[in-house]
Amino acid sequence: MHESSVRAAADSAHEISVLWIRWHGAGDGSAREQLICHYLADARMLAALVYARRTHSDIDFDDYLQFARVGLIEAIDRFDPGRGIRFKTFASKRVQGAILTGLTRLTEKNQQISVRSRIRSERLQAAKQAAAEAVALAAGGATATPQARLFGYLAEVGIGLALGVLLDNTGMVDAEAFESDAHAPPPDVSYFRKSEMARLRSLLRERVGELSEAHRAVIRGHYLQDLPFEEIARGMGVTRGRVSQIHRQALSSLRDTLGNEPRFDLSY
């Protein structure tokens, strides 16, 4: 029984050696695929070891396994059988390195997504509050109908969000959105939209420079540096609520200033 096991292991080792020769010697893609399949269990084991040492459970094991597979493939493509090094020894470091690198990038990406989500939520909330205040002042008591007040509120929210899009340094509305296969406009229209958007952004940022110091600091920090209200508040030494208030005042000031600007049309 022991002798047959040894013989089977030898046969398996010989088959793997042949696969390495076929892959690195002749570039046989089929041999490469067989090598990947053969070592997948080892990659999974390494992923499980790293996963067992995790300090949090924010990332699923499937992600660990996927990074391990990527590392395994890279190891197979770079391994040189002629150097006298065992593949498992060579691959182990690369697989674990690929897992750790992938986790770092995924964590950073998740953090960025979380921050962007918070910023969008803050902007929407600020736009709603500013709209409610504007409608309340414009209503003049009960002279406006509920439908008119609702329409005015929605219009104010839309204008607030439009200002945020134009101010945003990361392009929440990317120019590439105009070029999607499903909604691509004619070339002349596409060029007009992108050039007009760039012109409006430039004009709006000129007006930001004319704001008061506090208003300018909040607008630039929130839109050009992508800082949440909490971070801006710490930097200014005020409360988050105060930053939110300054933000609404700044947007209102920008809107009032641009309302008299013949080159600027918020309905665009």
Output the pLDDT for position 69: 94
Q: Dihedral angle at the C-alpha atoms of 69, 70, 72, 74, nearest 10 degrees?
A: 160
Q: Do 253 and 216 contact (CB within 8 A), yes or no?
A: no
Dist CA 254 CA 268 (whole Å)? 16
Residue range 157-175, pLDDT digits in tens: 776 777 777 777 544 333 3
Dist CA 186 CA 195 (whole Å)? 14
pLDDT at 132 over 70: yes
Residue range 51-80, pLDDT digits in tens: 999 888 888 999 999 999 999 999 999 998
Structure letter (DSSP) for residue 1: -
Q: Can you give the pTM of this predicted structure? A: 0.47
Residue range 214-267, pLDDT digits in tens: 998 988 888 877 788 888 898 889 998 888 888 888 888 887 777 665 555 544
